Structure 1
Amino acid sequence: MSKHVPRIVAVLPRGETLRNFVYSGTLDQVAGSVDLTVMSVLPSAELSALLSSRFDDVRELAPIAERVAVTRLRELLDVAHGRWLWSEAAQSRWRVRDSEATTPALRLKRMVKKAACYPLANRAGIRLLERAERAASKWLRTTREYLELFETLRPSLVFNASHVHSPHAIQATQAAQWLGIPTATFIFSWDNLTSQGRIIPSYDHYLVWNDDLRAQLLDIYRSVRPEQVSVTGTPQFDFHFRPEFRLTREDFCRKVGADPSRPIVFYSTGMANPMFGEPRIVEGIADIVAGLDQFGPPQLLVRVYPKDRTGRFDDLKQRRPDILFPEVPWEPAWLTPKPEDSALLTNTLRHAAVGINAASTISLELCMFAKPVVNVGYNPPGMNIWPWDYGRFYTFEHYRPVVESGAVAVARSESQLREMLVDALRAPDARAPQQRALMSRMFGSTLDGQSGARVAECLVALAGGPSTGAGRPLRTEIAC
């Protein structure tokens, strides 16, 4: 009599989940212990072929429209959650949505939404809305596709690789729940619980970056029990700690068009919304860098936020050949990093002399490499960007501890940024003790290149499979 082998269905609803769980080798390790079905968005023929070459059962995750009543209930739940949570990020989003209501019709619609959410913006009201949303999702469902699929596959676990991209995964995850199949999800980023919306639907198990996220999750979602939350670290940082991704300085500079003999000032841009006027900030920094003759002068390398498809830096690229704008290898479909982007980012961090950004996750990654960080805390000179405010980003709950730790410097003006940049180039190790303390407090021992292995071990255990041997080297996708 053959022994039953558990099956895990991994749902990859966004391009970044391929980086986190495919390129990192996480799902290969899962597939080595249990049967695996991969349900993924397919951004290109090349990436579709990559998935098919690595996994036996790959299926396309196609968006399925839902009824208007269901989507409206989710909108109301999301608004009520934000009003109840009332974090700094939620307050900022509230003001922005108010400012976007620029016509009588839009103002009326906004007023109705706010009026409807106020009496429900409490724990009891949100529980009521969640029950209504779940019931409506089931009884007004528009497909049986995933119900029939899971009745055939009979998986032991359905794993949504990014809770924040649930609109594309929700049909699969809720079908599993209706059939009594356990579900798990990965909390995608460190700011998601305080700056993004409600987790819809709820899950049986959650995988998180660190203890802070675990504590936040248990505080906000009181129905979640401690044993339902596992701290694994995030596989997106694993690439930084794997020697196979390292390039020599000469090879890296040749790749991005830089001079290996001069310091590299690395600027990483943010989202077009809310980072209005950022090209003006970048050009101001370029002028500062060009005047630092005592350091070479340095060269400014700008990594444009991969999801920014507005072309807002095109003019700067044409006018300022002194600024390096290496191509960021992402597929526009489903906002998908290509395998070679991991090596590019890792080596940019490794070979930079100092990093500048506006409250980005890149700040944490620079600290991992013990690189000085200067944050932009001033608005673009001469521009009115209300209701946005660069300085306000540093009050957001997820980023405030970074500032308070002293691991980064926050410039409140262009002149102060110049002073901080000079200090960083002169004494790059000045904040190293604070950076080490911050990394230890935030990540403990998980910055070891093995977060993907811990995720795999956790998923297989949840599915009732054998140990994966977490800690052994993972298969990674390298394309330097």
Structure 2
Amino acid sequence: MKILFLVPDGVGIRNYLYSDLIPELRSCNAEICLYHKVSKSAIKEIEIVHKIKIENKEISDLNETFYLKFLRESTAYARLIYFKDFLKNKTILNFWGKNPTSFKLKAFYFSCKTLGTYLSKNYNLLRRYELKYEEKIKTTKAYQKAKEDLKILQPDFIINLHQRAPITTPVILAAQELRIKNSTVIFSWDNIPKGRLICRPDMYFVWSELMKKQLCLLYKEISPESVYIVGSPQFEFYKKKEFQQSKEAFFRQYKLDTSKKTICFSGDDKLTTPYDQFFLEDLCSSIQEFPKNERPQIIFRRCPVDFSDRYDFVLEKYKNDIVIVNPDWRVETPSQETNFTMIYPAYTDISLLVNTCLHSDVVVNLGSTMAHDFAVFDKPCLYVNYNPKRDENWSVEMLYQFEHFKSMENLDAVGWVNTPSELYPLLKIALSTPDLIAKERKQWLKKIIQHPLEKNSINLATQILEKCTSAS
């Protein structure tokens, strides 16, 4: 049997293609093929990790016509409005994220919003337009090329590693016409309310019961029988001893002080948290209140896709308190830094992230998934919850009203820093008696992701193999 991984960009490489998923499939004599839009060096890294040669083929570009893009964007906006009304959460519209500058683009997106608003009032009509988009995709060269490629590759099963990439639509639709079983993972814990489920594969692999309920609630056409709870392999790395260094070795490598408590500040992308640099500055200022012989050190891990210089002034000002431990992600050329098809995590970044979490005592950030990463090691997270700057287009209140944060309702899942002056006292507690901060962090983690974590690759591989066998 042959399993084809649909890889539209580099961000899913660590979570799935570096995990035990490929070895689990190969242990049952499955062939592996990558149908991808990533760099040659990324493919080579995957092959080195698993010590195998992997059949691979590049996906053709999808050159959307004006009408195709109009249909896609209009239905995406309609989804957001529908979700906003259905869930009674107006922050969902923030995921639209369009801020055109030219008159032509302003007119285009105004038209998309106009049609989208109309479609959002009638779910059946919305679905007709989504299906119309799929029918139009079938008239493209990308669709015909996908059919030709799949006939040559002859996979028994296809798994898409990112549900929102438009380039995957022709492949999924071609697979359905050729009667090849096909599926998608839901890439992240916050993806479903964002309204970018591009097409409807045969089956869905999700993180948890919570995610399954949300997917079926918001997409009426998706049957619960087609949704499988398997977790996400990205968390199993934390359970593997081979990725863990001793504290002494890790600290020696990055010139950290083993006698000091350690705070990790994890950055986010510039769009999500435009004022992250000021949160880092407040954190650095707050640790000055500790007696000098008790002052903790800060590990700064920036977001892998944030190449901005916005932190530079803080890093210089507090260079004696901050140790930079940047993620190890690779880009093909500097001009392609924002191109997700040309950026990917190196395998070494797994160990880097594991040891950052393992050997830090607490993590501070603005609403980051790193709260879950630290919870794996039963370590607390402090969410900053104040506005460092006045901005009519952005606020922490808006961010924490996003739908995925409702999963922590009635749980003491994180510590809340409501003013800069609260950082010092909360850090004192988190560093000295961590069990008093975010006491239910493990419960939140179990709500978000299927346990046991170390079985997530096995769960997904088992489902793929079962469906693959039943399809043959």
What TM-score does the superposition give when structure 2 sets the normalisation length?
0.90
Deviations 1:72-110 (A, max 9, x none): 21111111111111144423345x64xx35676665444
Determine the structure 2 residue equivalent to 1:392. 398
Aligned to 1:15, which of 10, 17, 30?
A: 10
Q: Is the 8 A contact 2:207 2:450 kept in 1?
A: no
Query: What residue number does 2:245 align with?
Result: 247
Shift of 1:123: 1.3
In structure 2, what is the Cα distance between the partners aligned to 1:302 and 1:158? 38
Change (3 A) 1:219 1:412: same
Aligned to 1:312: 310
Q: CA 1:49–1:368 in 2, change beyond 3 Å: closer, same or farther?
A: closer
Q: C-alpha root-mean-square deviation of aligned residues, in Å?
A: 2.3
Q: Which moved more, 1:231-240 or 1:120-129?
A: 120-129
Which residue does 1:125 correspond to in 2?
125
Residue 160 of structure 2: aligned partner: 160
| CA–CA distance in structure 2, aligned partners of residues 29 and 465 of structure 1 | 18
Of 358, 365, 374, which residue of structure 2 is paired with 1:357?
Answer: 365
Q: Post-superposition shift, 1:438?
A: 2.2
TM-score (norm 1): 0.88
Matches of 2:437 and 2:231 in 1, distance apart? 24
- The answer to whether residue 456 in structure 2 is matched with residue 451 in structure 1 is yes
Contact in 1 for aligned 2:18/2:46 (Cα 8 Å): no
Equivalent residue number for residue 21 of structure 2: 26
Q: Which moved more, 1:406-415 or 1:137-146?
A: 137-146
SS of 2:263 mapped into structure 1: strand
Match of residue 350 from structure 2: 342
Return structure 1 stretches of 4+ with deviation > 6 angstroms: none
* Residue 329 (str. 1) matches residue 314 (str. 2): no
Residue in structure 2 matched with residue 471 of structure 1 by the alignment = none
Asked if 2 retains the 8 angstrom alpha-carbon contact of 1:370 and 1:432, the reply is no
Structure 1 position 65, deviation (Å): 2.2
Residue 178 (structure 1) aligns with: 177
Secondary structure class of the residue paired with 1:265: strand
The answer as to whether partners of 2:47 and 2:53 remain within 8 angstroms in 1 is yes
Matched, 1:51 2:34: no
Equivalents in 2 of 1:218, 1:156: separation in Å? 26
Deviation digits for residues 145-177 of structure 1 (CA, Å, limit 9, x no counterpart): 22112223332211111213x223233222212
2:144 corresponds in structure 1 to: 144
Distance 1:352 1:436, change over 3 A: same
Distance 1:375 1:431 in 2: 11
Aligned partners of 2:450, 2:14: CA distance in 1, in Å?
A: 23
Residues 381, 415 of structure 2: 8 Å contact kept? yes
CA apart distance, 1:8: 1.8
Correspondence for 2:37: 41
Alpha-carbon distance between aligned partners in 2 of 1:17 and 1:101, rounded to the nearest angstrom: 28
Which ranges in structure 1 are unaligned for 5 or more consecutive residues? 1-5, 467-480
1:282 to 267, 277, 280: 280
Which region of structure 1 is more displaced relative to structure 2, 368-377 or 49-58?
Answer: 49-58
- State the 1:332 CA deviation: 2.8
Q: Quote the residue 2:189 is aligned against.
A: 190
When residues 56 and 339 of structure 1 are mapped into structure 2, their CA distance, relative to the original with a 3 A threshold, is closer
Q: Which residue is equivalent to 2:93? A: 91
Corresponding residue pairs, total: 453
Please say which of residues 23-32 and 360-369 is displaced more in the overlay: 23-32
| Structure-1 separation of matches of 2:261 and 2:43 | 35
Deviates more, 1:74-83 or 1:46-55: 46-55
Highest RCO, 1 vs 2 (Cα 8 Å, sep ≥ 6): 1
**Equivalent position SS for 1:384:** coil
Structure 1 residues 264 and 19 mapped into 2: Cα distance closer, same or farther (>3 Å)? same
Tell me how far apart the structure 2 counterparts of residues 411 and 113 of structure 1 sit (CA, whole Å).
Answer: 39
Within 2, Cα distance between the matches of 1:444 and 1:139?
Answer: 40
Residue 30 to residue 309, structure 1, CA distance change in 2 (3 Å): same
Q: Deviations over 1:300-330 (max 9, x none)?
A: 1111000112232233333431211113100
CA contact (8 A) 1:12 1:41 kept: yes
- The offset of 1:32, in angstroms, is 3.1
Write the mapping of 1:58-73 to structure 2, written as runs, cut at 5 A: 58-73=56-71
Does the aligned pair in 2 maintain the 1:232–1:446 contact within 8 Å? no
Q: Alpha carbons of 1:38 and 1:465: their partners in 2 closer, same or farther (altered >3 Å)?
A: farther
How far the C-alpha of 1:179 sits from its partner, in A, is 1.8
CA distance in structure 1 between the aligned counterparts of 2:12 and 2:106, rounded to whole angstroms:
37
Paired with 2:11 and 2:52, the residues of 1 have a C-alpha distance of: 18
Gap change, CA 1:295 and 1:136, over 3 Å in 2? farther
Query: Counterparts of 2:386 and 2:317 in 1: how far apart (Å)?
Result: 24
Measure the CA separation in 2 of the matches of 1:351 and 1:385. Answer: 36
Contact 2:147 2:174 in 1 (8 A): yes
Spell out, residue by residue over 1:435-466, the C-alpha distance to the aligned partner (whole angstroms, 9 max, x if none): 2322333335232x221121111111111179
CA distance in 2, matches of 1:124, 1:415: 51
In the aligned structure 1, how far is the partner of 2:61 from the partner of 2:108? 27
